[in-house]
Structure 1
Amino acid sequence: MSDFLPQRSALIFQFEEHLARTRYSSTASKRYLAVAGHFLKYIEGLHMSIDAVQPSHVTKYLTRELRQFSRRHGRAPVSVDHWRGSHTAGVHQFLQCVVGPWPPSATAGSPNGAYRQALCAEYAQWLRERRGLAAETISERTAEAGRFLSWYGERNKTGTLSSVAIADVDAYLQSRAPSLRRVSRKGVAQRMRCFLRFAYATGTTERDFALCVMAPTLYAFESIPSALSPDQVDAVMQTSRNDQSPKGLRDYAILLLLATYGLRAGEITRLQLNDIDWRADRIFVRHTKTGSQSILPLMPAVGEALLAYLRRGRPKTDVREIFIRMRAPYRRFESGSSLYTLTRRRLDAAGVQPDGKRGPHAFRHARAVSLLRDGTPMKIIGDVLGHRSASSTSVYLKLATEDLRDVALDIPGRTQEEQT
């Protein structure tokens, strides 16, 4: 057992440095270090190296620790879920530090999992090099391909697409359909067509099954995107501005970026410190969906909100993204979807209950409508929103149908009374 002591000390020291570097609180650091020490002793008792640890070992360790807690205290923890969550977090953070990504993918080691990962990686490269698509679009399409491959692998012994048939494609689309609206089902069909074209072009399948994918028909101006009213936006902004906590300062700055510029959530989460030109009062935006770039004026209210957050709300960290999570480890938001909960929480706090979407895009739609009502040309609105084509911008006309009455054309040959 003494042979393990130097290794244990080195690993604990490595973990301690990691916790300090990522600025965990002293309380959390002590708890995680204690859990890591107990877990290392457990692994040593199994005469196992840390690299050989599997999720099953963590599960068995937690079961043993819970049993020992009950013996020591004569009772179970006040909250078993809280106890288990705290200990699990400590073990996972430790293993992420000394081993790498943890917990490992449940299917990465299986034949189907390895095949799926390799094919999705090849697909992503094909989308990037052959199609020239934006990173966000590539992520969406590879995610759909991964879902299909996982679904197919569970139903096919070979695990590969060598024997895929039209019936398999139809069955997958049917399995996805019940929980989706028609526009979403069309999106799934389009992503599947793209993946199946890739599979045929690269010889993965012998037939181009993309031609067999059926999608629902959508009509022009069929669906109306939801948007917050000006009064709702003002209510959310006022309530958020009153919260001067670090999280409140961060959330207010994010909401102001949404409401002022109509940015996509992913564009906000990717903003970096050097994207703000304080001397020239400009903000540099990378449009995640189109791959284009914009330079927008830094409005005074936005600048003040950003400064307040940077000075009094943002934890000290080496992360270059402006907006980061408020609990250690201080990391950037993984994606734009991370802002959905934040936005919904602020809507609820303001007592705003919109009929449609309640995420960041509701602010984007509201900004588009406000620009339309101010008489801003469609081309400029498209540039502000980062649209590549005019058709992407024209969809917002559906939200301002009442305003179209002001530009109604006179009908030749009829009097004003007849027209009314």
Structure 2
Amino acid sequence: MNELITIEAQSPRPADQNPAAVYLAGLSEGTSRRTMLGALEQVARYVSQGRFGAMDFPWQGLRYQHVQAIRSHLANTMKHTTANKVLAALRGVLRAAWRLGLMDAEDYQRAADVPCVRGESLPAGRAVSHAELRALMEACKADQSPKGTRDAAIIALMYGCGLRRAEVIGLDLADYDQGEGTLRVQGKGRKQRLCHVTNGAARALTAWLRTRGKAAGPLFLPVTKAGDLQWRRMTTQAVYYILARRAKEAGVEHLSPHDLRRSFVSDLLDMGADIVTVQRLAGHAQVTTTARYDRRGEAAKRQAAAMLRVPF
């Protein structure tokens, strides 16, 4: 890579003229912004041999041959999914450089015109069975403190509405219309959607609201060891810890919060809901993303494999 590009030190650009800053500012706060900043840091450190970070790297100096060399490095050192995420961040910052007038259109088009890294891997995460979901809820019910009621409602919404961690903690009491049974959710890319809270999820949420009260503010609150509610918003990491704790108490194999969302998609498809409806309920921009959440394919393959009998 050193033979392909020479990096010259430049005066720092103000944020509104910095391609990396402008690109990152257009992403949703939280996971997306952190992920893409990390991706840009990897590229900047690799190309400059550690002399530059994402925010002071001269992105406008990259050309097609440089991006092709970066792609080759990524393909050789990362899974294809991770490599393509880094390439997406790279294309985004190059687009910002062009829009800021730091690159001409031809240089930008050529640099951004590198193919994705091809490959195929097993789907991430796993499906959560109904028995495991029941065990998680029982573990919450066994906790007589406000934490138990709160955690049951969080788990119920993450499975029953397919919510992401960031969506759960971003909810306010005003987002829930108990009469209509709907929840207004702020999703990725500042896209709102209505989720329908029904049956057990509605009962779990009602139980939490009896504990929480009707004061305005975040729907879910931190709870102290003494059982006191703290009137501030929870963190995404807190949701991760909640699920890990309840899984351990329930004797359930390790699962991530996103596994509940995957199971929401898989179970709806398994029960006959059409994929476009499920896509809208999950808040996915593309049907192809929804399809990647489907775990029915593995279940079908397992059932087919079980038809064979090995004489041992």
TM-score (norm 1): 0.55
Q: Does 1:395 align with 2:292?
A: yes
Contact 1:249–1:309 at 8 Å: present in 2 too?
Answer: yes
Contact 2:279–2:290 at 8 Å: present in 1 too?
Answer: yes
Q: Which residue does 1:197 correspond to in 2?
A: 95
1:155 counterpart (51, 63, 74) = 51
Query: Which stretches in structure 2 are left out of the alignment for 5+ residues?
Result: 1-8, 304-312
Q: Post-superposition shift, 1:339?
A: 2.1
1:293 counterpart (180, 192, 200) = 192
Contact 2:71–2:87 at 8 Å: present in 1 too?
Answer: no
CA distance in 1, matches of 2:202, 2:76: 44
Letter in 1 for 2:51: R
Q: Post-superposition shift, 1:240?
A: 1.9
Q: Post-superposition shift, 1:362?
A: 0.4
Alpha-carbon RMSD: 4.1
Tell me the matched-pair count: 280
Greater displacement, 377-386 / 133-142: 133-142
CA distance in 2, matches of 1:113, 1:227: 51
1:263 counterpart (144, 148, 163) = 163
Q: Which residue does 1:143 correspond to in 2?
A: 37
Contact 2:36–2:86 at 8 Å: present in 1 too?
Answer: no
Identity %: 24
Contact 2:140–2:152 at 8 Å: present in 1 too?
Answer: yes
Q: Deviations over 1:122-164 (max 9, x none)?
A: 2245x4xxxxx66668625652466358745951599451785
Query: What secondary structure sits across from 2:139 in the alignment?
Result: helix
Structure with the largest fraction of helix? 1
Q: Deviations over 1:237-290 (max 9, x none)?
A: 22122212122222111001112122222221111101111223322223x125
Contact 1:270–1:321 at 8 Å: present in 2 too?
Answer: yes
Query: What secondary structure sits across from 2:195 in the alignment?
Result: strand
Rg comparison, structure with higher value: 1
Letter in 2 for 1:248: G
Query: What secondary structure sits across from 1:331 in the alignment?
Result: coil
Contact 1:193–1:213 at 8 Å: present in 2 too?
Answer: no
Letter in 1 for 2:263: A
Contact 1:290–1:386 at 8 Å: present in 2 too?
Answer: no
Q: Which residue does 1:326 correspond to in 2?
A: 223
2:83 counterpart (185, 188, 193) = 185
Change (3 A) 1:165 1:238: same
Q: Which residue does 2:123 correspond to in 1?
A: 224
1:272 counterpart (169, 172, 192) = 172
Change (3 A) 1:301 1:228: closer
Q: Post-superposition shift, 1:218?
A: 3.0
Query: Which stretches in structure 1 are left out of the alignment for 5+ residues?
Result: 1-110, 128-132, 407-420
Q: Does 1:303 align with 2:182?
A: no
